[in-house]
Structure 1
Amino acid sequence: MASATEKRRQAVLRAIVADFIALQEPVGSKALVDRHNLKVSSATIRNDMAVLEEEGFIQQQHASSGRMPTEKGYRAFVDSLHDIKPLSAVERRAIIDFIEGGVDLEDVLRRSAQLLAQITRQAAVVQLPTLTVSRVKHCEVVALSPHRLLLVLITDNGRVDQRNVELARPIDDAGVFALRDLLNGALFGKTLTDASASLAELAVAAPVEIADHVMRAATVLIETLVEKPTDRLIIAGAANLTHLPRSLHEVIDALEEQVVVLKLLANVPELGGVSVRIGEENEEIELHRASVVTAGYGSDGETLGGLGVLGPTYMDYPGTIQKVAAVARYISRVLAGE
């Protein structure tokens, strides 16, 4: 059990972190006494700060300046956040209304990224559901003109992909219906890996009158099913980081290196959990001056993708954790059809 002195020092550390997050300037002992009800003298606070500095939780930039948290200090602060205050009813309703306005899953996720960036004032990233765990629910075929088709591929987790197909010969309504039936017969209920194989077979065995149409549609769909990593990320709010010190501009560069961000979201916590990585806890060297808060979303207990916020190590941890968790939870509710 922590002694009274240890508990007071923990309170002093929390106060230093909270003040530095709010003001982004070093914190002095007198300011702590004035702003927080610590019930001890400035001299006692100075002694506590000296111990916290010796233990590596805070640091002093200049001999005459106050203290600022180290990464170890931020970690201790985050680990002490046992009870995150829930969002207000008004905040919850605003999030639900904005997210539920999406016309499909991708629109919901795009709105979620924009919302997270707006309410945290950081950069937000949202990962589209990985196609490898999806099964095809339907493939709609729409004739945009006699020589152009729109293919709309819908998966069981709500993801929608749209692709245009240019045709060498015109197609009539009967050809569109026949093509739709053939594609759905080959795709329905299959994992996307199996669907690619079925499409390859379909292109070879199609009726001669629509064989060329089938081949062109199958080629486009196979390219869709073999997804590129850069097709799986939605990024919003990078401009929120441009006001940060130049030492943090490499975080903006890291957002452009989308493989770095995908790695961040590859190991999100289980549904309902939130992960916080601070500074050098991030494996990627580009993010050693940043903090990253991530959560997973999904349905039926299965994680389908991740989302997160990137910002400086002096971000508002309680507020960011609360908002990332809330948005992940509401995306999961939309996926579950609630």
Structure 2
Amino acid sequence: MSGATERRRQEVLRAIVADYVASQEPVGSKALVERHRLGVSSATVRNDMAVLEAEGYIAQQHASSGRIPTEKGYRRFVDGIDEVKPLSKAERHAILEFLEGGVDLEDVLRRSVQLLSRLTRQVAVVQLPTLRATRVRHVEVVQLADVRLLVVLITDAGRVEQRQVELAEPIDGEADVPRLRALVNRALAGKTLTEASVTVAELPAAAPADLRDAVLRTATVLVETLIEGPSERLILAGASNLTRVEADFPAGLPAVLEALEKQVVMLKLLSAASDLHRVRVSIGEENEDEELRGTSVVSTGYGTGDAILGGMGVVGPTFMDYRGTMSSVAAVARYVGLVLGEGQPR
């Protein structure tokens, strides 16, 4: 078979996918010739469709109907997408402006899934960063009472963890608290959470005698925070979008919604998106969880610089607009990274 024939059949497959995604109706050869500039006759298109069907890329639901793409056909279509379509300047500006309106890290991520669900008309999900994925930006120490301190750990992703420290005896708020704060920040600032958990454990031995008890108790609380950390969480938006295509999920919509509610299932999917610059697509049976095998998942990583903080993506039917969805996921992830990297939101 010549290269030209192979390229033409790829174009026929692309046209079938495009028409089916737009209409959810089986596609016939006559419609393809009328809607797309394929440069060949209906007879040639019918022959190409017969070959594509024999190879498992399209299927015929009924003897007299047109063809619909199979999961294998969607996979070939996705693999043939050379690059993600860029958004318009107006779209990029609108995304950035909306994300920059967030008041903190979680609000930025909540806005990101709201955007994705609106742009793609699918369910959008994002993984909140774990402490392990970040570095210490600053540790604030505030005196609440004579023998009680508030320790606030702030990461480079804007995540904030607060803990109280009970002291054995009072310390001077004006003189000793700033010293304690400086000691802790010299030891931890700029370090990964794993590195910081080791460094903070060594602090009491090197602390001045008059601060040793306060340093020991503060270090103990920080070690617990750094080692245990918060459990991973997800933010989800747009579940109601799936009701539009309820009949198209083989396992049924309730099963899909149940899978979406399982944190472990979605975290595993998003954790597989380990590249900041590559969009990952899993289609139908490629999804490990049985309840998601009638869906497609488009995901990518988000982060600052080269550091990945988590994954985000969308879940929808296998006949989704892959090119547009991949573009939206890539754009929103990129702008989340820009907002977080610039220290936004303030």
What TM-score results when the alignment is normalised by the length of structure 2? 0.81
Aligned residue for 1:276, secondary structure, equals: strand
Instruction: Report the residue type matching 2:307 in the other structure.
Output: E
**Structure 1: how far apart are the matches of 2:333 and 2:101?**
16
Which one of the candidate residues 308, 319, 325 is aligned to 1:320? 325
- CA displacement, residues 105-149 of structure 1 (integer Å, 9 cap, x when unaligned): 333222212211221111222223342242322123457899997
**Structure 1: how far apart are the matches of 2:83 and 2:271?**
27
**Structure 2: how far apart are the matches of 1:219 and 1:240?**
44
**Structure 2: how far apart are the matches of 1:133 and 1:248?**
36
Instruction: Report the residue type matching 1:109 in the other structure.
Output: L
Q: CA RMSD in A?
A: 3.5
**Structure 1: how far apart are the matches of 2:145 and 2:63?**
74
Instruction: Report the residue type matching 1:127 in the other structure.
Output: Q
Identity of aligned pairs, percent?
57
Contact 2:193–2:226 under 8 Å retained in 1: no
Question: Which position in structure 2 is the counterpart of 1:85?
Answer: 85
Which one of the candidate residues 281, 284, 298 is aligned to 1:279? 284
In structure 2, the CA distance between the partners of 1:100 and 1:209, relative to structure 1 (3 Å rule), is same
**Structure 2: how far apart are the matches of 1:184 and 1:84?**
42
Question: Which position in structure 2 is the counterpart of 1:298?
Answer: 303
In structure 2, the CA distance between the partners of 1:66 and 1:96, relative to structure 1 (3 Å rule), is same
Contact 1:126–1:308 under 8 Å retained in 2: yes
Structure 1: runs of 5 or more not aligned: none
In structure 2, the CA distance between the partners of 1:207 and 1:13, relative to structure 1 (3 Å rule), is same
Aligned residue for 1:242, secondary structure, equals: helix
Question: Which position in structure 1 is the counterpart of 2:260?
Answer: 255
Aligned residue for 1:10, secondary structure, equals: helix
Instruction: Report the residue type matching 2:289 in the other structure.
Output: E
Question: Which position in structure 1 is the counterpart of 2:56?
Answer: 56
**Following superposition of structure 1 onto structure 2, how do residues 167-246 of structure 1 map, counting pairs within 5 Å?**
180=181, 184=185, 187-196=188-197, 215=217, 218-219=220-221, 222-223=224-225, 225-231=227-233, 233-243=234-244, 244-245=246-247
Aligned residue for 2:232, secondary structure, equals: helix
What is the CA distance between 1:277 and its match in structure 2? 1.5
Contact 2:134–2:157 under 8 Å retained in 1: no
- CA displacement, residues 36-77 of structure 1 (integer Å, 9 cap, x when unaligned): 233444343333222211110001122222211001110111
Instruction: Report the residue type matching 1:279 in the other structure.
Output: G
**Structure 2: how far apart are the matches of 1:195 and 1:263?**
26
**Structure 1: how far apart are the matches of 2:72 and 2:150?**
53
**Structure 1: how far apart are the matches of 2:295 and 2:98?**
28
In structure 2, the CA distance between the partners of 1:146 and 1:103, relative to structure 1 (3 Å rule), is farther
| Higher alpha-carbon deviation: 247-256 or 72-81 | 247-256
**Structure 1: how far apart are the matches of 2:8 and 2:328?**
29
In structure 2, the CA distance between the partners of 1:112 and 1:152, relative to structure 1 (3 Å rule), is farther
Contact 2:132–2:192 under 8 Å retained in 1: yes
What TM-score results when the alignment is normalised by the length of structure 1? 0.82
Contact 2:128–2:232 under 8 Å retained in 1: no
**Structure 1: how far apart are the matches of 2:7 and 2:192?**
54
- CA displacement, residues 89-120 of structure 1 (integer Å, 9 cap, x when unaligned): 11010011111222333332222122112211
- CA displacement, residues 280-305 of structure 1 (integer Å, 9 cap, x when unaligned): 22233332211111222233333332
In structure 2, the CA distance between the partners of 1:240 and 1:210, relative to structure 1 (3 Å rule), is farther
| Higher alpha-carbon deviation: 216-225 or 51-60 | 216-225
Question: Which position in structure 2 is the counterpart of 1:160?
Answer: 159
What is the CA distance between 1:194 and its match in structure 2? 4.5
**Structure 2: how far apart are the matches of 1:113 and 1:145?**
41
**Structure 2: how far apart are the matches of 1:37 and 1:138?**
60
- CA displacement, residues 240-260 of structure 1 (integer Å, 9 cap, x when unaligned): 223322535233222211112
**Structure 1: how far apart are the matches of 2:231 and 2:62?**
45
Instruction: Report the residue type matching 1:159 in the other structure.
Output: G
Question: Which position in structure 1 is the counterpart of 2:131?
Answer: 131
Aligned length: 336
What is the CA distance between 1:153 and its match in structure 2? 1.9
Question: Which position in structure 1 is the counterpart of 2:342?
Answer: 337
